[in-house]
Structure 1
Amino acid sequence: MTVEFNHTIVFTHDQGAGARFLADVLGLPEPTRFGPFDVVTVAHGASLDFMTTSDRITPQHYAFLISEDEFDAVDQRLAERNVATYADPQRTTKGINTRDGGRGMYFDSPEGHILEVITRPYGSGG
């Protein structure tokens, strides 16, 4: 049996703004609408389905594997938006990391989720 990740719901106080932020920063197509969700689709058809809630948001962690060129573009888009980037998930060291011979960085979404981009999967060596 093959198991493939399909989607997750991302709770936010403004689903349009949250979905647009992620799509813009990652250089993805405009979010689409499906039922009550604003949907950001990533590779292999997996999606992050943004949904507005009035409840307190519990920060979640979402990591994205991207190419070196895409990493440079994401870094530039974050700098243009004055979004701080960190080398660690605790967000204690500013900048990027070079784990496994690639690059990675963490940053916060507008609703406080911890987003991460990496160019090499963890444990891949280097």
Structure 2
Amino acid sequence: MTISLNHTIVPAVDNEAAARFLADVLGLEYGGLHPVARHFAQLRINDQLTLDYMTVPEPTGHHLAFDVDPATFDAAVAHLREHDLPHGDGPGTHTNGRVDERHPLGGRGVYFADPSGNLYELISPS
């Protein structure tokens, strides 16, 4: 049996704002509220995975890491810089404005947080 992740729930102060934030950084299209469970703002990451953002009063941030191709990585870093969004080269230094050119998992890495405290990590081959 093949196992793959179908979706995960991501807590947020404002579910739609959080989904739009990541969609903008990654160059994805935010499709709106979940068609059945309308309390989730659903962001399709790829054919297999959606992030379902749920508004909660006091969200506890999650760490979500994505492997991305070099073009997506470059576009995401450009978006972060163009919009003066804090980003950095490590989970504890995610606001230092740097990109990790020697990510421990290979290639380059960048970290950034959304307004709800979710920490995103992008990893791309060099």
TM-score, reference length from structure 1? 0.87
Count the aligned residue pairs: 120
Is residue 2:54 matched to residue 1:45?
no
**Long gaps (5+) in structure 2:** none
* Equivalent of residue 120 in structure 2, options 91, 115, 121: 115
Task: Give 1:94 deviation, angstroms.
Answer: 4.0
Residue identity opposite 2:15 in structure 1: Q
| Residue number in structure 2 paired with 1:12 | 12
TM-score, reference length from structure 2? 0.87
- State the secondary structure of the residue aligned to 1:33: coil
- State the secondary structure of the residue aligned to 1:45: coil
Tell me the distance in 2 between the aligned counterparts of 1:53 and 1:89.
Answer: 23
Task: Give 1:27 deviation, angstroms.
Answer: 0.5
CA RMSD of aligned residues (A): 1.7
| Residue number in structure 2 paired with 1:123 | none
Identity over the aligned pairs, expressed in percent? 37
Residue identity opposite 1:84 in structure 2: P
Task: Give 1:102 deviation, angstroms.
Answer: 1.1
- State the secondary structure of the residue aligned to 2:10: strand
Tell me the distance in 1 between the aligned counterparts of 2:83 and 2:14.
Answer: 18
| Residue number in structure 1 paired with 2:26 | 26
Residue identity opposite 1:106 in structure 2: Y
